Structure 1
Amino acid sequence: MRLSIILPALLLVTASAARADDTPPAAPVLAQVLAESTTFDWRQPKAEDTLYMDLPGGRVVIELAPRFAPEHTANIRTLAREGYWNGLAIVRVQDNYVVQWADPGAGDATTRKPLGTAKARLPAEFEHTGTLPGLALIDSRDAYAERVGFVEGFPVGHDPQRGATWLAHCYGIVGAGRDNAADSSSGAELYVVIGHAPRHLDRNITPVGRVLSGMELLSALPRGPAPMGFHADAAHHVPITAITLASEIPAAERLPIEVFRTDTPAFQRLVQARRERHEEWFVDPVGRIELCNVPLPVRLRADSAK
């Protein structure tokens, strides 16, 4: 009995001494971080902030970002509740850039779909100023922001001098299209990033959320041949069956999605695991990471029957 207790202790001391003399312990790999995570490290998106976008190929799930775009989020909720997008279409698929959905008849006042009780014009919501609970900064060299990190699962840029934080245009981010005027968006015309992160859009347009699942249904769509990826031929538009708020359907019918929290020690370990790549395949452990290369794990709740 005594030997079984002392021997592991001796091995631990020996291993610790060896690490002190040689190199620090290797960072964990992503699979290890996820395997060791607890229920505390995961969260369920709020139903009132979750959109289900139903396409012929399946369902896309989008989480809205009311902390950064409260007026856009409120308008989008209204549009969804009133069925605005039902029967509209994806009209633009630009390679290495964005997929965009809108009213195909919006350019003609006689065929334009009414916005119902939603607002036709919203203020620009390009950044948030002031304290942000849950801001988790990461060590990363960034061309577009002095500091970068995450807030409630969303990638952000941060200016500590001005106390400003904004959503970054990483893969999967959803934004609201606008005209030249900064306050010309209604949230009715939305896009999602499907290519290399167009960070030049940061603080020039209002991001409203991000895709949690179903990106493959958007990123694999046929590219539009017209300028900027638009489908000039309406026959090539992808119809939208419906865009529905999760809060508008019975709880038992909602997708039991969980998202990895970004305000926990487990997330910092995840970032470390992706900065120091110690999977067997890697020859060079890299030692650096870009904001948009940090994975944001999503899973179905473990006790779900689905």
Structure 2
Amino acid sequence: MKRLLPLLLAAPLLLAQAPTASPPPSLANTSADQIIAAAPASAWAAIDPDDIMVMDTAAGQMVIQLAPLFAPAHVAAIKALVKAGRFDDGRIVRVQDNYVVQWAAKPLDGKEPVSQPPDVREQRVRAAPLPAEYERSAKGLAFTPSPFKDTYAEAGWIAGWQAARDRKAGTAWLAHCYGTVGVGRDMPPDTGDGAELYTVIGHGPRHLDRNIANVGRVLAGIEPHAALPRGTEALGFYKDEAQRVKIARVRLASQIPGFPAWQMMDTASPSFAQVVQARANRTGFFVRPAGAADLCTLKVPVREAK
């Protein structure tokens, strides 16, 4: 059956210093962009090129960072599919407004990916199911808490990722925000095999947290894909092959000679704490700054390495 999104470093945890509730006077009129531009080299962390997936489609190039820290089995499966060329000549099969863009690898029989409603069965591409990597043990993860309340859980950042945790259960997970990349799946107990992926192109669907294998985020190139025509079938699937967007090739950055190196801001750094406060206390155009921000608004800065 078609795998879809449902509608739906010590123990105990090391707590990094949370940002203060308001910016210091010296930063009162400093924008987040200015803070990011002035951040020292020590505020940036390198992204492993083996964790960067580069997808070239008829709409453009999308650069994706994978998250083996949170979904190691799914990420390993995705990398194996990439190295086997399974995504080459695949298709973007679904574009649902304010929700997701979804794409599929080419099936093992070599036929073009099928885009059909969830009651249509198609060939499976794995022999054994992957674990349900929807959350993980928080043991050993340094958690930088957000200074602002969150509707869903205690929110913050782990190793450069927007995340949340449950202290009582001792678990942590990645949050679904704009640009999140996850694994399409069927109804439980199916967990997805990595052959169908999606990225969020709307308001962060946090109700999907802990229900889908969240495997990464888009670093660059989401814009032309978010602007693709919306599918007219149920859940935004494309009806005709002519509508589906061709995937030319997908590679890991480590497979591409000369591909630019990427960095993400260290979410435990003073610079990131300043970015958080600047985004919560905007000036200039703003007559009444919010004094707060939700987790998905507080994106982790990323950049090509200088």
Unpaired runs of at least 5, structure 2: 1-22, 107-112
Structure 1 segment 1-306 matched on structure 2, within 5 A: 25=25, 27=28, 28-102=30-104, 103=106, 104-105=113-114, 115=125, 120-145=128-153, 147-250=154-257, 253-278=258-283, 280-302=284-306
Residues 285, 219 of structure 1: CA spacing in aligned structure 2 closer, same or farther, 3 A cutoff? same
Residues 224, 120 of structure 1: CA spacing in aligned structure 2 closer, same or farther, 3 A cutoff? farther
Unpaired runs of at least 5, structure 1: 1-22
Residue identity in the other structure for 1:196: H
Q: How far, CA to CA, are the matches of 2:221 and 2:296 in structure 1?
A: 18
TM-score (ref. length: structure 1):
0.83
Q: How far, CA to CA, are the matches of 1:224 and 1:286 in structure 2?
A: 36
Using CA pairs below 8 Å that are at least 6 residues apart, which structure has the higher relative contact order?
Answer: 2
**Count, aligned residues:** 271
> Where do 4+ consecutive residues of structure 1 move more than 6 Å?
none
Larger helix proportion, structure 1 or 2? Answer: 1
Q: CA offset at residue 232 of structure 1?
A: 1.0
Q: How far, CA to CA, are the matches of 1:184 and 1:37 in structure 2?
A: 40
Residue identity in the other structure for 2:191: S
| Structure of higher CA gyration radius | 1
* 1:229-287 Cα distance to aligned partner (Å, 9 max, x none): 0001111000001111112222xx21232222212111111101111112x11111210
Residues 148, 255 of structure 1: CA spacing in aligned structure 2 closer, same or farther, 3 A cutoff? same
- Asked if the contact 2:191–2:212 (Cα under 8 Å) also holds between the matched residues in 1, the reply is no
TM-score (ref. length: structure 2):
0.83
Residues 285, 105 of structure 1: CA spacing in aligned structure 2 closer, same or farther, 3 A cutoff? closer
Q: How far, CA to CA, are the matches of 2:33 and 2:53 in structure 1?
A: 29
Report the 3-state secondary structure (helix = DSSP H, G, I; strand = E; otherwise coil) of the residue aligned with 2:152: coil
Aligned-pair identity (%) = 44
Residue identity in the other structure for 2:264: V
Q: CA offset at residue 120 of structure 1?
A: 5.0
* 1:5-38 Cα distance to aligned partner (Å, 9 max, x none): xxxxxxxxxxxxxxxxxx9625342133123201
Bigger shift: residues 134-143 or 237-246: 134-143
- Asked if the contact 1:50–1:245 (Cα under 8 Å) also holds between the matched residues in 2, the reply is yes
